[in-house]
Structure 1
Amino acid sequence: MAKRPLLNEWKALAIHYGTAQRPVSDLVLEIDDVHDSLSRIEYFVWLIRLEDRLILVDTGFNADEAAARGRTLLIHPVAALSGLGIEPSDITDVVVTHLHYDHAGNLPAFPNASFHIQDREMAYGTGRCMCHERMRRPFAAEGVVDAVRLVFQARVRFHDGDGEIAPGCKLHLIGGHSKGLQVVTVATGGALLVVASDALHFQRYLENDNAFPLFADYPDVIEGYKKLRLLAGASGLIIPGHDPEVLRKFPPLAPDMEFARVLL
């Protein structure tokens, strides 16, 4: 597919690829109302363009995983890229913020990419914590195996804490939700963008230090909010990982591209 002219009109996109309606108790640790109502959670991957680099932050899930977990796949992430005029082979870097099923599916689809993963996330997803059902629940075994295969293909760039992908694009270890969870900052055009992924599921958590009720280390989740605020500073923008508000706050790239929301 020929690249569309719109490809040059953005620097960072949130790609909305999935959705689900879940009980509120599935989405927030502390709730005021004991009567459990339903709420919506949205699923995103993020695309960053920096000169000759196309950086994909997370790779989403596929139809089989969506069916197994009761999620709705609105558009396969690879199909969304194709709709933008981007082939999987065009992606130069994939940041795996963590190895949960909704962030690390579809890894083999990107044949030319280098994959950026934290040391401790790989250790967590392949280590003794996975012997416990509650801890391994958000992981998909095949997705973790795909990540291991990439290691043996010498295509994984491991990070031990904060690091850099390219000038203007950095990684920051947060942990908490998963032991090696990392976030991405992008500094371009005078704006600083913090792609928080699951270091912040919903923006409202910052108001009351609430949390998603699934985590590897609760104190690290709450301390992670402090790091997000510090990274963003007074004028930066924090993008939560699953918030429906993203769809209301950021415009679509084009009328026929509701799935692609312009962040920068």
Structure 2
Amino acid sequence: MSNWEVHAIKYADRNARVRGDSFIFDDNHDAPHAMDYFMWLLRRGDEVILVDTGYDDAEAASRDRPIRLDPRAALEPLGIAPLDIGQVIVTHLHYDHAGGLHLFPNATLHMQAAEMAYATGPCMCHDTLRMPYTAGHVCEAVRRLYSGQVVFHDGDAEIAEGVTVHRIGGHSRGLQAVRVRTSAGWLVLASDAAHYYENLFARKPFPIVVDLQDMLEGFDTLLHLASGPELIVPGHDPLVHAYFARGAADHILRLDPGPIAEVRR
């Protein structure tokens, strides 16, 4: 079978952050440290899979975290309409990854069973663990379940030929990464298993974490899954723009040919 196209679609950023927001162990916690927000599109011929959905203007207003593009508008340069999306891989149910589920009503959701259990279970009694979730997004996933539009996975699973998911955990109980066969080799969309290259390569954990051991061991899993470390794409790192070529628009990067610059480790 042929390889997949992989597009990284930036829909938001947040620059009023510091390194202490990104790394548990760091000597310069007060230094600025920007964050980009992505979703990803996989395409092979007529096959289309969306990885995560971003969040919409209502969620942006609620959290005072503005978005640059509505997720639907962000997909337009790729010729994709919301109703065209038949499958969404939900890496986890945090607001910035699942806040647009309702925008893609035809989609079947691929999730780890552990993520649904986590987002609807006793851990959500704790304000700190509940903070990245929004009840309406979780309820949308439950509604989709009751309409027969959720496929649960327990660990490793094949979504389509050349596309697999792998439960990492750490950041949330059911966080999963996505492995895609491309012309450059096996590329891994880390999502929040590695927010930044530095989380992965310097082994500096991200502060939002439910299981630190799972997060640290997840870094090894990412390296094992990818054909090379340069083909691991973090979930929020602005450096992705420096390493990969511009795609169909300024906010879109083309990942599947591999990086255009050396990825520094």
TM-score, normalising length: structure 2: 0.91
CA RMSD of aligned residues (A): 1.5
Any idea what the Cα deviations from partners look like across 1:166-215, whole Å, max 9, x if unmatched? Answer: 10000111010000000101113352110000000001122221011001
**Match for residue 19 of structure 2?**
24
Q: What SS does structure 2 have at the residue aligned with 1:103?
A: helix
1:67, CA displacement in angstroms? 2.7
Structure 1 residue ranges without an equivalent (≥5)? 1-9
Shift of 1:37: 2.5
| Contact 1:192/1:237, CA 8 A, preserved across alignment | yes
Distance 1:235 1:98, change over 3 A: closer
Q: Does the alignment pair 1:144 with 2:132?
A: no
Aligned ranges 1:70-109 → 2 under 5 Å: 70-109=64-103
Q: Does the aligned pair in 2 maintain the 1:53–1:92 contact within 8 Å?
A: no
Q: Which runs of 5+ in 2 are unaligned?
A: 257-265
Give the aligned partner of residue 160 of structure 2: 166
Runs of 4+ in structure 1 deviating by more than 3 angstroms, as ranges, are: 233-236
2:252 is aligned to 260
Pairwise CA distance, 1:132: 0.8
Distance 1:215 1:69, change over 3 A: same
Question: When the two structures are superposed, what TM-score results if normalisation uses the length of structure 1?
Answer: 0.91
Q: Deviations over 1:4-56 (max 9, x none)?
A: xxxxxx8110000010021221111111025x122100000000013332110
Q: How many angstroms does 1:150 deviate by?
A: 0.3
Q: Is the 8 A contact 2:54 2:98 kept in 1?
A: yes
The equivalent position to 2:173 in structure 1, one of 175, 179, 188, is 179
Task: Tell me how far apart the structure 2 counterparts of residues 235 and 137 of structure 1 sit (CA, whole Å).
Answer: 31
- Equivalent AA in structure 2 for residue 131 of structure 1: C
Q: What is the letter of the counterpart of residue 21 of structure 2?
A: D
Residue 6 of structure 1 corresponds to which residue in structure 2? none
For 2:103 and 2:62, how far apart are their aligned partners in 1? 21
SS of the residue aligned with 2:152?
Answer: strand
What secondary structure does 1:228 align onto? helix
Match of 2:34 among 34, 40, 56: 40
Whole-angstrom distance in 2 between the partners of 1:37 and 1:70? 22
* Residues 20 and 70 in structure 1, CA contact (< 8 A), matched pair in contact too: no
Deviation at 1:236, TM superposition (A): 6.2
Alignment of 1:209-224 (within 5 A): 209-224=203-218
Percent identical residues: 48
